[in-house]
Structure 1
Amino acid sequence: MTTSEMATVLAWHDALNARDLDTLVELSSDDIEIGDAHGAAQGLEALKDWARGLDVQVEPGRIYVHEGVVVVEQRITSVTGETGAEASAFRVVHDQVTSAFRHPDLPSALAATDLTEDDLTG
């Protein structure tokens, strides 16, 4: 199951970066929750609105997985070329993302999900 969950999250990143909303929707549950420190929203329309509003590319880095929870360290590049780092926590059920929450950094995402370095994938 771990490989499937990782593949789903990586495909989700690819669709997000390509602004391929059809694939992003296919990879997400109807009641997906998305959020960050500024709030949360639910549903596919909220997901599409959020994705349309992004002005960054998200490059996945280290991946942590445990029982359907996937935390991804991410390198963020804005349209102006500025770079930064953050992390996102995903819940994957039956090869669909049911939630995606952005965190300011990897330690915050790991703490929010109770994942540890033991959950780091190869």
Structure 2
Amino acid sequence: MDGDLRAVIEEWHRVVNEGDVTVARTIVTDDVEVGGPRGSASGVDAFISWIESAGIHLEPVAWHPLPDAGVVVEQRASRPGGGRSAEQHPIPVVTLFKLRGDRIAGSWRFDTVREALVYPAAVQ
């Protein structure tokens, strides 16, 4: 996997985990798509809104590069201070990332790697 691709996705994790919306605006495309079990939305404002409301911490644990500037990342997800022992018991989740140039053009959350890999042909 290209080092630049990994660096951008690591920065995505940092800004999400820290709620750094200033830097978040600089690492995504203007038409970034964000998707998950509750639907999808597009645009920088939708991404920022998700960061502000999610309150999630995502720790990458495995990387699966795809052709054409994409990668599936397995993660441990927790909600610090989220109650119901979320901090003590992180759950596995998977995010499919699509890049355009040096920015993230899309991130979609799934429960399994298999689901991410078949999502419209892994976002051709």
> Gapped runs of 5+ residues in structure 1?
116-122
Post-superposition offset of 1:114: 5.2
Which residue in the other structure is 1:69 paired with? Answer: 70
Q: TM-score, normalised by structure 2?
A: 0.85
* Contact kept in structure 1, 2:73 and 2:95, CA below 8 Å: yes
- Taking only aligned residues, the RMSD between alpha carbons, in angstroms, comes to 1.6
Q: How much has 1:112 moved relative to structure 2?
A: 2.3
Structure 1 partner of 2:16: 16
* Equivalent residues in 2 for 1:35-114, closer than 5 Å: 35-66=35-66, 67-79=68-80, 80=83, 81=87, 82-112=89-119
**Equivalent pair of 1:6/1:65 in contact (CA under 8 Å):** no
Q: Alignment identity in percent?
A: 24
TM-score (norm 1): 0.86
Instruction: Check the 8 A contact 2:16/2:56 in 1, yes or no.
Output: no
Q: Is the 8 A contact 1:32 1:43 kept in 2?
A: yes
- Aligned residues of 1:69 and 1:113 also touching (Cα < 8 A): no
The farther-off stretch of 72-81 and 84-93 is 72-81
Structure 2: tracts of 5 or more residues without a match: none
State the aligned residue count: 115
